Structure 1
Amino acid sequence: MKLQGNNLFAAVTALTALGFMQIGYDNGLMGGLVNQSAFNKTFDSPNSTMVGLIVSIMEVGAFFGSICTAFIGENIGRKKSIAIGVVTLIVGSVLQATAYHRAHLIVGRIVSGIGLGMVNSTVPVMQAEFAPKASRGLFVCMQLSTLNFGILLVYWIDYGFSAQTASYSWRVPVILQCAFLFPMLVLLLLVDETPRWLAAHDYHDEALDVLRRLNHGKMPDSDILALHEDIVRTVAVEKAIGAGSWKDLLKNDKIQSQRRFFIACAIQIFQQLGGINAIIYYSGTLFEKSVGFSAHMSSLMSGFLQTWFFVASFIPWFLIDRIGRRPLLLSMVSVMAAVMVVQTALIYQVQNSTAIAHQCGIAAAAMLFIFQGAFTIGFQATVWFFKVYPSEILPLRLRQRGSSISTAANWICNYLIVQITPPAISNIGWKTYIIFAVLNTLWVPIIYLFFPETKGLQLEDVDRLFAGDDEHVAAELFAAKPAVEYAEMAGKEAA
């Protein structure tokens, strides 16, 4: 018997939560292992350049996984895309956990990256297409917390094994990620394909069936029929104006597909170049090399930092659907820029051993906590990995392709940051933070001028938002809207 109502939505939420937890686990995994004696003994004490390659090469795999999903994901659907990604991740995890040479480990990292890119490109789209509009941001922020829990979990697992000298001290944390992957395969057997993908591929009866089961006991059938009509009409209008092919990503059609695609890519690039993954991946290195803590204290502080990252991720639960995406982005990116300016001055004092170097080291450690808190409230709540904003901003028939390409842009920028951070810290020291300060400052006016608000909108309403200047297209898109609004009002009155 197929799931319905809260059971169906709970299964979808559990599936995407495990996917996000896996993303967090993979992102935090190597940061806590590369400084361990057992890891360095196995792989012949790699220098900073080789460490950067080992850690960042997964991003290259994720880039290709995202590109692959852009080509095949829209055709095979959200469920199959996630399934292929999960199986690939399992293979990559086994390859990494059994490695005895650098080349073997690097191949395993690439394979895992391909699977991660596929999962990362798809689970946010599935979550956005299933979640109700009024609380879509809240549900995605809940998934944000599971991602941060994955980072928190792996950092403390790494710390727990850090005193061990046998190779199992790094192999066990690597293979433990399968604990998330096998349950995902089970859940994929229970959940349905998203109703919007079904409607976009002319499975209208199946889409209506999923909508009815998903909203069983939550809204009257008239409301469900109106929502189905709205989705089908939006698909029809997008087809009529040609939105859906690869070339349409770069064509500014009547619903501004090109502009929406560029916004989706830009917001992904901005959050990566701001420096967050330099901190997540190398927090132990930053505490040790920049701030001046001992190796043990640096490892312990990294665990506390990721614990705070998890705790802070609960803050946007109460904000994102109340005050919106733009206010969170603008305020928190401004805080991130200011923190990096202060951090530059503090690290300068530490690295030049001035009279106030000790006090500045403590303050610099605090700045990392403030930076990650601001990031999770602003960027992460709306963009990072969950892609609330990119998933909301893209047209339905371009959503998977656009999301996958924007994710690929995310991963390639992530690769660059993760690759250059160790050499930058070793060679230019405190000046590294100037780069992040300048970039975060640059994002603020761009977001203010070009990024619209999507709070409280049905995904189909975003097409209406961007078609505002074209009266004919807007009229077509709004044709079903009165029926939707009437049904929603009737449902509220009945309740």
Structure 2
Amino acid sequence: MAGKLLYVITLLTALGFLLIGYDNGVMGGIINEEPFQTTFKKPSASLLGTIVAIYEIGCCVGSILTAFVGERLGRKRSILLGAIVMLGGAGFQAGVSTAGAMIGARIVSGLGMGFLNSTMPVLQSEVSPKSSRGRFVCFQLSLLNFGIMTAYWTGYGFAYVTGSKAWRIPVALQAVFIIPILAIALFIPESPRWLASHGRAQESLDVLSRLHGKPADHADVVAQHMEIQNAVQVEASLGSGKWSDLLHEDELKTRRRLMIACAIQFFQQIGGINGLIFYMRSPLFYRGNFFALVSDKPALLAGAVFTWFFAASFIPWFLIDSLGRRKLFLVCIAGMAAIFAIETGLIQKVQTTNSKTAGAVATAFMFVFMGLFTIGFQANVWCYTAEIQPLRMRQKGASIATACNWITNYAVVQFTPSGIDNLGWKFYIIFAIINAAFLPPIYFFFPETKGLSLEAIDLIFAPPGAIGEAEDKAHVSHLEQRGAATPPELDLKE
């Protein structure tokens, strides 16, 4: 049975993902309403796109900064710093009245989010049990989707409020998540793997004991502690941890692993999901707006999509650690590509004939697309990005991969309005092709990581001479089955 500390840390990271979701959704719920438009003097579509998308630039910069200082600060202090900056940014956003000030405030908030978003998946992966690591990340992503849904319905509710408080209050409500993050982060210990990699073995053992809910001399705790210590020694012997390791292919395949992490984060965003989330309530979204054809309250229908998005996020809880990462990626992305191809034809019919039937079918497929995304892609991406990195490069690698996510997110949010306006239904052909293009690299280059400890994942990439039996990759699963009963150093040296 896991100790209370595991659940406290999971609560912390869950609040972080709630905040990410709320932040991703809050602007979509307020930017098209009259109070926001009046405060900012009816901004053009281009300026509106910049106000929304500039946040992603701040997040990207924050992620890059985390790559440089996060390993030195540690997981705990990185989260504290990010939350403090975000709290200031939220207050700044809620108080401004000009577009320039709002852009500056969005950048400040983004900087803080970059620290949180880069660090929280790493912390969760480093404290979660190997057999259910994916499920813990799924829990976080369900809460991210709950945050998006909450932001959307909050914006919908405040649409009936007059004056600038109709948008200022939803923006200020970010503090509801940020303040508890600060409070919890003050009292949790550091990650045991970070402690071990910084020469604090005894503290690492103490934290592992609390995570397991067992005495420090219990066989399970000792076995995991020795496994982590062995991984630290191996990586130290290979010189892992330097920035230069990211630029050439070292013996732990650090560059390859970084490229995999960056690729999957790029795939997640370039596939078009945030184009849907940010602009679903906007008249810009789907020129011809098939939601308006299906319902006389299209905003309510869009809200139903986000509610389904949250509900569907519970499905991968039961799949990610049984089917594995690769199968979920491949099956669901293939489905997403097919849906975009189908939607292209349906939207063309909506835009040329105003067909209510085509609009209804397009709406149904939108629900299917959102479900496939959250089932096979969303939780999978954040779990995979953190666990695929070697220990001493985990913070750097995860931060750089997260920066790729945010800069791609910025690009999609920025070009989606213009793409829809200029290309109409043809715009969706691009996303169909992009999603289909993900399948070959995932199939050929992405290894399966389900059920493996973070140290055993290293064995997939380690050279034959680094760890005795690691040349037999099939031995990894055998090693995992024996790990709790037999001290890992015996497995590695017998």
Smaller-chain TM-score range? Answer: over 0.9
Q: 243-252 vs 288-297, which deviates more?
A: 288-297
SS at match of 1:321: coil
Q: Does 1:472 align with 2:470?
A: no
Any conservation in 1 of the 2:285–2:417 contact (CA below 8 Å)? no
Question: Which of residues 380, 383, 407 in structure 2 aligns to 1:382?
Answer: 380
Question: Cα deviation per residue 1:413-464 (whole Å; 9 max; x = unaligned)?
Answer: 0000000111111111111111100000000111101101000000000110
1:142-191 per-residue CA deviation (whole Å, 9 max, x = no partner) reads 11111100001110000001122311010110000100110111101221
- Look up the equivalent residue of 1:344 and give its one-letter code: T
Q: Is 1:313 aligned to residue 306 of structure 2?
A: no
| Structure 1 position 250, deviation (Å) | 2.2
Deviation at 1:291, TM superposition (A): 2.6
Residue 247, structure 1, aligned to residue 240, structure 2:
no
Q: Does 1:279 align with 2:272?
A: no
The Cα offsets for residues 50-69 of structure 1, whole Å up to 9 and x where unpaired, read as 11101100000000000000
Deviations 1:70-107 (A, max 9, x none): 00000010000010100111111011101111011111
Shift of 1:302: 1.9
Conserved 8 A contact 2:290-2:362 = no
* Counterpart residue type for residue 314 of structure 2: F
- CA drift at 1:487: 5.8
Q: Does 1:461 align with 2:456?
A: yes
Partner of 2:364: 366
Q: Deviations over 1:208-260 (max 9, x none)?
A: 11111221239961221121111111111111112111110122111211111
Structure 1 residue 443 corresponds to structure 2 residue 438: yes
Distance 1:376 1:57 in 2: 25
> Within 5 Å, which residues of 2 pair with 1:26-175?
26-175=23-172
Contact 2:29 2:281 in 1 (8 A): yes
Identical-pair percentage? 49
Find the partner of 1:203 among 200, 205, 215: 200
Q: Deviations over 1:334-357 (max 9, x none)?
A: 000000000111111111126xx2
Matches of 1:164 and 1:422 in 2, distance apart?
27
Tell me what 2:491 maps to.
Answer: none
After TM superposition, the score normalised by the length of structure 2 is 0.94
Q: Residue type of the partner of 1:277?
A: N
SS in 2 for 1:323: coil
TM-score of the two chains, using structure 1 as the length reference: 0.93
Moved more, 427-436 or 119-128: 427-436
1 CA distance for matches of 2:460 and 2:249? Answer: 15
CA distance in 2, matches of 1:344, 1:443: 19
Matched pairs, number: 481
Specify the SS of the correspondent of 2:280: helix
8 Å CA contact 1:233, 1:477 repeated in 2: no
> Secondary structure, in 3 states, of the residue corresponding to 1:284?
coil
Deviates more, 1:345-354 or 1:316-325: 345-354
Write the mapping of 1:310-459 to structure 2, written as runs, cut at 5 A: 310-353=310-353, 357-383=355-381, 387-459=382-454
- Residues in 2 aligned to 1:61 and 1:476: alpha-carbon distance in whole angstroms: 45
**Structure 1 residue 377: deviation in Å?**
0.5
8 Å contact kept, 2:290–2:363: no
User: Unpaired runs of 5+ in structure 1?
Assistant: none
Q: Residues 163 and 233 from structure 1, CA distance in 2 versus in 1: closer, same or farther, beyond 3 angstroms?
A: same
Counterparts in 2 of 1:60 and 1:489: CA distance versus 1, 3 Å:
same
Match of 1:304 in 2: 304
- Residue aligned with 1:352, SS: helix
Q: Deviations over 1:264-321 (max 9, x none)?
A: 0000001110000101111112666343444972321221111000000000000000
Distance 2:42 2:356 in 1: 30
Contact 2:214 2:221 (8 Å CA) reproduced:
no
Contact kept in structure 2, 1:265 and 1:407, CA below 8 Å = yes
* Cα distance in 2 for residues equivalent to 1:238 and 1:452: 20
1:305 maps to a residue whose letter is V
**How big is the alpha-carbon RMSD for the aligned residues of Structure 1 and Structure 2?**
2.1
Match of 2:10 in 1: 13
Kept after mapping to 2: 8 A contact 1:278/1:417: yes
Given that 1:273 and 1:414 are in contact with CA atoms closer than 8 Å, whether structure 2 keeps it comes out as yes
Supply the distance in 2 between the matched residues of 1:63 and 1:336 (Cα, whole angstroms): 26
Conserved in 2, the CA contact under 8 Å of 1:198 and 1:207?
Answer: yes
Corresponding residue SS for 2:281: helix
Q: 1-side partners of 2:3 and 2:406: how far apart?
A: 34
Give the conservation status (yes or no) of the 8 Å contact 1:38–1:170.
Answer: yes
User: Does the CA-based 8 Å contact 1:309-1:373 persist in structure 2?
Assistant: yes
Separation in 1, partners of 2:482, 2:224? 11
